[in-house]
Amino acid sequence: MAQTLEQTGLPPVRPPQSSFSPGKLWTDKKSRGIIIQIIAMVLFCAVVVYLAGNVVENFQKLGKPFGFGFLKQESNYDINQTLIQYNSQSSHARAAVVGIINTLLIAVCGIILATVLGFILGVLRLSKNVLVNKLTYCYIEFIRNVPVLVHILFMYGLMVHALPHPKQAIVVKETFFLSNRGFYMPQPLFQPLFWLVVAAFVIGLVFAFWYRRSARIKQASTGEQSPVFWVMLASIIGLPILAYFLSGMPINWEYPTQSRFNLKGGMAIKPEFMALWLALSMYTAAFIAEIVRAGIVAVDHGQSEAAMALGLPRKRTMNLVVIPQAMRVIIPPLTSQYLNITKNSSLAIAIGYMDIVATIGGISLNQTGREMECMIIVLALYLFFSLTISFFMNWYNKRIALVER
Amino acid sequence: MHGNLVLRSGSVQQARIFAGQSMSRTTNVMEIQFMNLVKYAVATAAASMLFGGSVQAGTLADVQAAGHVKCGISTGVPGFAFTDDKGDWQGFDPAVCKAVAAAIFGDTSAVKYTTTTGKTRFTALASGEVDMLARNTTWTFSRDTDLKLDFVGVNYYDGQGFLIPAELGVSSAKDLDGASVCIQTGTTTELNLADFFRTNGISYEAVPIETNSEGQANYEAGRCDVYTTDASGLAATRSALEDPSAHALMPEIISKEPLGPLVRHGDSEWADIIRWTLNAMITAEELGVTSANVDKMATGTENPEINRLLGSEGDLGAMIGLDKAWAWRAIKMVGNYGEVFEQFIGKETPIGLDRGINAQWTDGGLLYSPPFR
């Protein structure tokens, strides 16, 4: 039988009196949390203000004015790898740009090679062939358990000490030269008519994407499939090649030749770049391999079974069911590996690759004595690169995320 | 004038013995690079700027309280700075640190050495990590003014040269078009090199390196055709090569490189002590005071300047905050300029440097100390 409150004879429950007292601010869990946070924030600000003040004070004592005017001065030093026009008469700002481009070059090349290598290794690691599986396992464990700096120094040592002098360079068909001064190859010199090839490439690209889109619409409405891959390949690659031959091969090649000291002419990849690129890529690829393996294993086997039960061929099962789901697991940790490559590229300083740290954060810093300014620039640049990569990968992750209906 | 700088080397055998001793502690390239990285990170992170307290007030008082002089030296150049078999730093540059320690404490071991690269040296000095630098550092206008450093004198008049394998048969630096050149970063030589090749309209590939030993390793491995730095450093490096006779210094000296000890801007009293310790060593040689006869001369001589220098007449020491016998101790324990030169880099050593323009002014050189008066 249900009893009402009145029937039990207990006094009715009253809401607590909301009278304010300072002591309650501390005993109340919520307000105490806020108070502690305010105190922590004040302390943090005080430390920052103290440190900033100390910097200002020390700079004043040293009589060093703070400012970025030095960036306009002539740099007076040469850089051995420049992708833009630069000489010792250029400004420190331009030297910094050369450094930025070199850092971006190593980061982009590193990310591409590490991704390709990592995906291959990750798939090999899942192989049912015991030999392939175990060899890949040993390789990955060895590579990722040795510090990346050691890899870089080892690679550089290999490049400089194991490869022959330019005079005894390893030559392939008088075209490619490999020596401890770098890998030399012919340089393309574009003739006036080359614009036809570029135009063909652009047209091919536009056509390829238009074709893909219309093929999808066609499939959605009629269920008919079109050979999308082959048509895209033909229009993006085939069309420019066709244009190249039709316009009379408008590229001349400048071949490297032996000179008194070095090889002259052609394009050269310096041993510093090669060592850094290979070492960073190999190191990061080992981590990416594990991420890829984890991603593929994470997709339940039932998924592919279900896809096959529906009659999807093995390749389509992989492309349409397994990989899209694996990517959701792979992308977030892959982002941090890309960030790692970018940040680890600063280890270039150990072998004299002229990146941001070596140009604006190294020689410019030393020649002008502006430690604080230069380090702030380097800091800001790395932060910018990392945040950009992070932003892009987050966008991509959102795009491929599971759409819940 | 630079013709005087043409260097002579001792015999090959001597060089090997010397290299074996002096470079015994030289670690391999990898370790050096590791050390540099760590040091570079520590020094340039400007952490000392953030957390460091005052770096200027009364360096002498700070040094006396600490009981040692914090001295920045190079990471190792045969003859100029090297560790002996006991692990102590020796050489032409550490001798200045030792003389200062002798003048202040009467103890040449009261020095705490910090190795610095071309890159880290000024940060180390500016941040107070070291009290003075005694490493092959060129006195230039911008370093003296804009970088807020004070050069207190010159202990070696040098110039930039080129070291090249003899088999290449290059007779002039102007024939170096297209060569790869090993160059220490953060140095004046780096700037001179860019100027030299630009004004002569020839091209080169710069191979940046951090330390002398790294430069030597890259040069020996053939990563670069030419190694360029101060001619004295090249002579020293050449002496440590496997076969010094297979390598030649080019006749051209492309710059003036007055090398000397330096301190921070703003503490003139401390600068005075270093300046006059160096001058005491130079003057001692000029006046014929050596570590052997300094005790006898300190009791009084006919020459009033010697008497003032060694403290038997007047009290010059008090004027720089030290006692009367400061210079006597420096000369007694370290030696005069000529003794130090001959001991570490002179003709009898494998480095085999001629006094050349580093002779006393009375012998036609450039060494000219202001008078002790």
What local confidence, expressed as pLDDT, does residue B2 receive? 41
B182 contacts in A (CB within 8 Å)? none
In CATH, what number is assigned to the domain containing residue A358? 1.10.3720.10
Q: Do A264 and B178 touch (CB under 8 A)?
A: yes
Is residue A181 in some structural domain?
no
Q: Is residue A189 included in any domain, yes or no?
A: no
On whether any CB of chain B is under 8 Å from the CB of A122, the answer is: no
pLDDT above 70 covers a percentage of chain B that reads 85
Is residue A279, in this structure, part of any structural domain at all?
yes
Averaged over B68-88, what is the pLDDT? Answer: 91
To the nearest whole Å, the CA of A274 is away from the closest chain B CA by 14
Give every CB contact of residue B215 below 8 A, 6+ residues apart in sequence.
B182, B183, B184, B209, B227, B229, B237
Whether residue A108 lies inside any domain: the answer is: yes
pLDDT band (50, 70, 90) for residue A112: very high
How far is A77 from chain B, CA to nearest CA, in Å?
A: 5
Q: Please provide the average confidence, as pLDDT, over all residues in chain A.
A: 86
| pLDDT for A133 | 92
Evaluated on CA atoms A27, A30, A31, A32, the torsion sign reads: positive
What pLDDT, on the 0 to 100 scale, is given for residue B26?
Answer: 39
Please report, as a single letter, which amino acid is at residue B154. Answer: V
Helix (H) or strand (E) holding B153: none
Range of the domain at A402: 59-167+272-405
pLDDT band for A167, please (50, 70, 90 cuts): confident
Domains, chain B, with CATH or none? 2-157+259-363 (3.40.190.10), 160-256 (3.40.190.10)
Query: Do B110 and B104 form a contact (C-beta atoms < 8 A)?
Result: yes
List the alpha helices (DSSP H) in chain B: 12-22, 29-44, 47-51, 59-66, 94-105, 121-126, 141-144, 188-199, 212-221, 231-239, 268-287, 294-298, 304-310, 316-319, 326-334, 337-344
Tell which wins on pLDDT, B118 or A100.
Answer: A100
Residue B288 one-letter amino acid:
G
Helix (H) or strand (E) holding B183, with range, is: strand B179-184
Q: Is some CB atom of chain B closer than 8 A to the CB atom of A89?
A: yes
3-state helix, strand, coil in chain A (%, to 5): 70, 5, 25
Q: Where are the alpha helices (DSSP H) in B258-357?
A: 268-287, 294-298, 304-310, 316-319, 326-334, 337-344
Helix, strand or coil, per DSSP, at residue A388: helix
**Phi, psi at B178, each rounded to 5°:** 85, 5
pLDDT higher for A4 or B65?
B65
**Could you tell me the pTM of the whole model?**
0.77
B148, B207, B209 ranked by CB distance to A63: nearest = B148
Put residue B148 in one of left, alpha, beta given phi > 0 → left and psi -120 to 50 → alpha: left
Give the count of domains, chain A: 1
Instruction: Flag whether A260 is in a domain.
Output: no
Does A151 map to a domain?
Answer: yes
Amino acid sitting at position B241: L
- Picking from A357-371, B8-22, B273-287, which range would have the lowest pLDDT averaged per residue? B8-22
**pLDDT tens, position by position, B298-311:** 888 899 999 999 99
Q: Examine the pLDDT at B52 and tell me if it is beyond 60.
A: no
ipTM for this model: 0.75
Q: Across residues B59-81, what is the average pLDDT? A: 92
